[in-house]
A = this chain, B = another copy of it.
Amino acid sequence: MTHIVIRVVNIFFNHCVTCYTEEGAIDSSIRDISKATGLSIATISRYINDSGYVSSESAEVIKKAIKELDYVPNENARAVFKNSSNLIGIVVSSLSNPFFAEMTMHLEEKAQERGYGVILFTTNDDIDKEREAIRLLKGYRVKGIITTRTQLKSEMSKLKTPIVSFETEVNDKIITVAADNFKGGQLALKHLLERGCKKILHIRGPKSFEAAELRYLGFKDEAKRQNVNFDIVQFDSDFHVAYNLEENIGDKDITEYDGIFVFNDIAAVLILRYLLKRGVNIPKETKVIGFDNSYIGGLSYPSLTTIEQSVDGIASKCINLLLDLVEGKNIKEKRFYDPVKLIQREST
């Protein structure tokens, strides 16, 4: 009797696995195929999962029904079966910054090319929103996470899910991809000197923004090497500079400088606007250079000279490294710096 019971249980167990984990008993579509074809759910399941014998006649009938009923396999069931979804999570600070908007688009495209869907979270640099995003991504058992400007280094360090961090260095083990921001700062200083600037200003990003700090350090390093001085105006925010530009600049007269390096393009375009409004001739009287090469610099007049960080190159690197980790590859190198280059336009 024991033998019989075990056999029955086994049959039932296989059925459970089939209909619960591969399709879900409550999934109407596999039932629809069963109804339409008159074949058993078990047979259809064997066909769909390629997990056992199905006669060629039945296979033909099922194939036709799948097409007619427009049946799509349940990804969630697959995810449960494998304890991992076909999704990757992207946690991005804001899509109001055109660089991040373009980067998100590239990440999504490249993930899809490699067969992964993307769950998106925007945090607006709010630490609680980031925490909630991470909690939900765990719940969805995403295959991997691409994070930008994380403020949760210790939580990130504890996650078992593969992570690639854009810009922020989380710890020694988590891969970081970033543009070579330090080099970019150096290029900016060199360019202003080549263009003959004597009185130089740097609009420095918020100190919490690590990439902007590296741009500043590179700029400073090159200035030291070239034995030139520069002044600094410190900005306390990144995306919403628009709303407090006057407050950030204070009573400093930035129109008296003949060369200005701004920590990113969106702030640089605002500086252009500020100077033009005060009658400064750009580039004749003042030269302005930004950082990013987001599309916004090509729309302004004069168009913006900038240091390009390749959004396409960075997005590819992030996705490829993440999926290599997902597939179990051991990647020794943990820091990847994407090359930057000067894009000269009308503002210098």
* Chain A positions near chain B (C-beta within 8 angstroms): 1, 4-5, 8-9, 12-13, 16-17, 20-21, 24, 26-28, 70, 72-77, 79-83, 85, 87, 90, 94-96, 98, 101-102, 104-105, 108-109, 112, 117-122, 129, 132, 135-136, 138-141, 158, 242, 266, 269-270, 272-273, 276-277, 295-296, 298-301, 303
Contacts and interface: CB of A to CB of B under 8 A. Distances in A.
A295 B85 contact: no
B74 A141 contact: yes
Contact of A121 (B112, B138, B140, B277): B112
26 contacts: A1-B1, A5-B5, A20-B20, A20-B80, A21-B21, A26-B82, A27-B80, A76-B76, A76-B77, A76-B79, A76-B85, A80-B80, A87-B140, A95-B105, A96-B102, A98-B98, A101-B101, A105-B122, A117-B119, A242-B299, A266-B299, A269-B300, A273-B299, A277-B301, A296-B299, A300-B300
A80 B24 contact: yes
Given A16-B20, A80-B77, A95-B101, A108 B135 contact: no
Given A8-B9, A74-B80, A269-B300, 16 more contacts: A5-B8, A13-B16, A24-B83, A26-B81, A28-B83, A75-B140, A75-B141, A76-B77, A76-B79, A79-B79, A87-B119, A90-B120, A95-B102, A98-B101, A242-B295, A273-B303
Given A119-B87, A122-B109, A139 B299 contact: no
A140 B96 contact: no
A21 B16 CA distance: 9
A6 B104 CA distance: 53
A24 B17 CA distance: 10
Contact of A73 (B96, B98, B104, B139): B139
Given A9-B9, A132-B112, A295-B242, A139 B96 contact: no
B83 A94 contact: no
Contacts of A117: 119, 121, 136, 140
Contacts of A270: 299
Contact of A139 (B75, B82, B95, B303): B75
A57 B249 CA distance: 61
B298 A272 contact: no
A30 to B, nearest CB: 11
A10 to B, nearest CB: 9
Contact of A21 (B20, B296, B299): B20
Nearest to A346: B277
B120 A120 contact: yes
Most buried by B among A85, A117, A132, A276: A117
Given A5-B4, A105-B94, A105-B122, A135 B72 contact: yes
Contacts of A296: 296, 299
A269 B299 contact: yes
Contacts of A132: 112
Contact of A301 (B102, B118, B276): B276
List 9 tightest A-B contacts by C-beta distance, closest first. Answer: A16-B16, A76-B79, A101-B101, A75-B139, A72-B138, A273-B301, A95-B101, A95-B105, A120-B120
